[in-house]
Amino acid sequence: MVEPQGRAVTPAARLCLIAGLLGAVLLALNHITATAFSPALGRADVVGSLMAVALMLVGLNWTRVDPDAARPIQLEGQQGLRLREGLTAEDRFELAWGSDLLLRHSAAVAVHVIWDGTPLLSRGLLQLHQDVAIGPIAARVLNSGQRVHLVDLKHYPGKDEFSYLPPRVPAVLVAPIGHRGLVVLAGATARCFDSRDLGWCDGWVERLRRRWECGDPAAGDGVR
């Protein structure tokens, strides 16, 4: 189990922070012990202070997320593929192809395609028993037509609606297929879906939307 993400300081960042702090302390001592004040001393204080602050900001900027804190959680479940009965061969192929693409080329460990509240496909790390329900988050995605990226699910009050995903799953991406369907991706690491993953998902979602915009995949009359 992954502990909450912490912060780790690289050697270069630590050196910058120490140098900046040391410079600030020396400037303060020099200012205090100076017997006479002059414009030159004032200018030196300003320049030295700016350099000390710049070094500390560089050090803070180089502070990175601890990679040990970003290790994937060992999620429970079994690898599998479930397709709804009654789908046409073309729709089955499209769903199998697209879900395989996302599992191979994104951070997703599970892919679900839902249409009118009914799962058409579940693939990846699956639960033995899963009841898909459209909760407030999914409903908002359908109504707005905008995808939602839940970077760390445990911080969201509506996480219970994703009970069909592996327990303790940290990251969830919910994308709309028009106003009737959803693609739901689960990730094993908080904040695991980057811009490339979002692009893969958006591309497939648009492909499904165009395919089904004039038909119902569950009825087998989608556009070919």
Please tell me the predicted confidence (pLDDT) of residue 175. 96
Please tell me the predicted confidence (pLDDT) of residue 4. 36
Please tell me the predicted confidence (pLDDT) of residue 2. 32
Residue range 44-98, pLDDT digits in tens:
777 777 787 787 777 666 665 444 445 667 778 789 999 999 999 999 999 999 9
3-class secondary-structure state, position 115: strand
Which tokens sit at 185? 């991706």
Answer yes or no: is pLDDT of 5 > 50.
no
Over the chain, what is the mean pLDDT?
82
Q: What is the rounded distance in angstroms from the CA atom of residue 91 to the CA atom of residue 160? A: 30
Per the document, the length of the chain is 224
CA 62 to chain centre: 21
What 160-165 contacts at long range (C-beta under 8 Å, 24+ apart), as own/partner pairs, is 160/135, 161/133, 161/134, 161/135, 161/136, 161/137, 162/135, 162/186, 163/130, 163/131, 163/133, 164/112, 164/119, 164/122, 164/127, 164/130, 164/131, 164/132, 165/110, 165/112, 165/127
- How confident is the model over 21-40, as a mean pLDDT? 76
* Residue 2 · residue 69 · CB < 8 Å: yes
Most confident of 10-19, 147-156, 161-170, 203-212: 203-212
CA dihedral 84, 125, 173, 113 (to 10 degrees): -10
Crossing angle of helices 39-61 and 11-33, in 10° steps, is: 160
Residue range 95-111, pLDDT digits in tens:
999 999 999 999 999 99
* Residue 162 · residue 118 · CB < 8 Å: no
* Residue 63 · residue 57 · CB < 8 Å: no
Architecture of domain 78-218: 2-Layer Sandwich (3.30)
pTM for the complete prediction?
Answer: 0.67
Given CA atoms 94, 211, 185, 121 in this order, what sign does their dihedral have?
A: negative
Higher pLDDT, 111 or 152: 111
Domain ranges of the chain: 7-69, 78-218
* Residue 178 · residue 215 · CB < 8 Å: no
